[in-house]
Structure 1
Amino acid sequence: MAEGNAQSRYVRLTKEQAPVEDITPGELNQPIEVPQLIVHRCHECGQTLPESYQPPADEDWTTGICGCADDTESCLSGLFCPCVLFGRNVETLREDILWTNACVCHAICVEGGMAVAAATALLHGIDPKTSFLICESLFFAWWMCGIYTGLFRQSLQKKYHLKNSPCDPCLVHCCMHSCALCQEHREMKNHLSDNAVMPTTAVDPPPIQQMSSSNEEKTDSASPPEPSKDPESNNLELQPL
């Protein structure tokens, strides 16, 4: 009786009841990415690496931070138009980012803050009322210069296993922004030139081998060797031991 009086757990569906949600064919058969199954392996030995593994930064930069004169083109671009040079560097490092997007972001964050400070000083002069706006604009440009461009310098160091030279990437861009951009451009240019020129070894193809189907060669190779016709070789003597 207790079982009969208990409420049923099943709900009867009616024809008027609409489906909860529409499911397109094939929607439930999509592959699912499981983060626990994504394993990072070493490129040389294939050993499984932990998630917290960071490649060792033990390589030196090919050029110094003050070697801007080694490349005249990048030196002029970094001095008079650093946003364009930064965009070119980002496009070389990250193929999914266009150089125009990085150039516009650099121009708005860095050059934009400096332009606001310069325009405020020229139009309204430097007084207690405008000094706060000027300092705020310069600080914004300096902070964005170090953080935004320093992150890409850090990505470059991880890609080529480079050391912090001469100090942290963000501090390098805060203190020597133009020199850092020129150094990064020369570094990627040197690595690309090294990858382009690869030593090649000339290997001669093996000689062409032809199969002969003549009956004479088959008979000669299959027939046993003829006995020697020398009479001396047939006379064998048995000597007691």
Structure 2
Amino acid sequence: MEERKQSRYVKLTKDQVPLEDITPGELNQPIEVPQLAVHKCMECGQPLPESYTPPSDEPWMTGICGCAEDKDNCLTGLFCPCVLFGRNVESLHEETPWTGPCICHAIFVEGGIALATATAIFNGVIDPGTSFLIFEGLFFTWWMCGIYTGQVRQNLQKKYHLKNSPCDPCCVHCCMHWCALCQEHREMKGRLSDNVFSETTVVNAPPIQEMKSSDDKENPETSSANDTEHTGLELQPV
């Protein structure tokens, strides 16, 4: 007897594990090609290397000591620096509410200043060793706050390609914290498009136009006579 040839088809049974369901359109998703995602120059269109960073050579709109140019900003930064810092963070990062940075600034900066003032007042009551530890902890806290607020200033400089004014962002906040907050607020206030006045365009509606048929144009006298006849009719109840 002739041997049966092996079938080239695969038999499917009920015990076979079902395949994974594929939703419509799942296989038509775009594929990210790293070679095509290349940064290009805005002026000449040439590809730029991955490590390229735009030069930070843009000057600040106001100086570090120009607090008097905006009196409201100056008063807020002097008496409520935590509120001004929260507003700066919210303007820079829209997804971050201003309350979180404001509370953190109030606890560590204003709270540290209050603790340092109380320690200096009760210097004779508190043990000198304890006072030294308190001031050492406050100095470390101030240094950490300078790093945190300096990171916000550095992000602002990267966003608008601003140069260091007058020195490194962390050093600026450690030495001139209140002036730096006011300068950052003035910079964002001057550069954000929401604060730029734009003139509104007033569009007037066209006048009402009446359509006339060709018969009315040719015989204007007959049309006026018909109008008078229609207006002379009166309706009487039966």
TM-score by length of 2: 0.64
Instruction: Provide the residue aligned with 2:83 in structure 1.
Output: 84
Q: Is the 8 A contact 2:39 2:48 kept in 1?
A: yes
Rounded to whole Å, the distance in 2 between the matches of 1:102 and 1:113 is 16
What is the DSSP-based 3-state SS (H/G/I as helix, E as strand, rest coil) of the residue aligned with 1:56? coil
What is the DSSP-based 3-state SS (H/G/I as helix, E as strand, rest coil) of the residue aligned with 1:49? coil
Residues 196 and 100 of structure 1: CA distance in aligned 2, closer, same or farther (over 3 Å): same
Rounded to whole Å, the distance in 1 between the matches of 2:140 and 2:41 is 41
Rounded to whole Å, the distance in 2 between the matches of 1:129 and 1:55 is 50
Q: Is the 8 A contact 2:146 2:174 kept in 1?
A: yes
Q: CA RMSD in A?
A: 3.5
Instruction: Provide the residue aligned with 1:205 in structure 2.
Output: none
The CA deviation at 1:155 is 0.9
TM-score by length of 1: 0.63
Instruction: Provide the residue aligned with 2:104 in structure 1.
Output: 105
Rounded to whole Å, the distance in 2 between the matches of 1:199 and 1:47 is 37
Rounded to whole Å, the distance in 1 between the matches of 2:182 and 2:46 is 37
The CA deviation at 1:39 is 3.2
Rounded to whole Å, the distance in 2 between the matches of 1:42 and 1:138 is 46
Aligned ranges for residues 5-24 of structure 1 at < 5 Å?
none
Instruction: Provide the residue aligned with 1:186 in structure 2.
Output: 186
Q: Is the 8 A contact 2:189 2:195 kept in 1?
A: no
Instruction: Provide the residue aligned with 2:234 in structure 1.
Output: none
Residue identity over aligned pairs, in percent, reads 71
Instruction: Provide the residue aligned with 1:156 in structure 2.
Output: 156
Residues 130 and 34 of structure 1: CA distance in aligned 2, closer, same or farther (over 3 Å): farther
Q: Is the 8 A contact 1:41 1:47 kept in 2?
A: yes
The CA deviation at 1:168 is 0.6
The CA deviation at 1:163 is 1.1
The CA deviation at 1:110 is 1.9
Residues 102 and 129 of structure 1: CA distance in aligned 2, closer, same or farther (over 3 Å): same
Instruction: Provide the residue aligned with 1:228 in structure 2.
Output: none
Instruction: Provide the residue aligned with 2:128 in structure 1.
Output: 128
Q: Is the 8 A contact 1:121 1:134 kept in 2?
A: no
How many residues were matched structurally?
A: 184
In structure 2, runs of 5+ residues without a counterpart are 1-14, 201-238
Residues 87 and 33 of structure 1: CA distance in aligned 2, closer, same or farther (over 3 Å): farther
Q: Is the 8 A contact 2:39 2:49 kept in 1?
A: yes
Aligned ranges for residues 1-241 of structure 1 at < 5 Å?
38-122=37-121, 125-192=125-192, 196-197=196-197
In structure 1, runs of 5+ residues without a counterpart are 1-14, 16-22, 201-241
Q: Is the 8 A contact 1:39 1:49 kept in 2?
A: yes
What is the DSSP-based 3-state SS (H/G/I as helix, E as strand, rest coil) of the residue aligned with 2:192? helix
Rounded to whole Å, the distance in 2 between the matches of 1:104 and 1:43 is 40
The one-letter code of the counterpart of 1:97 is: T
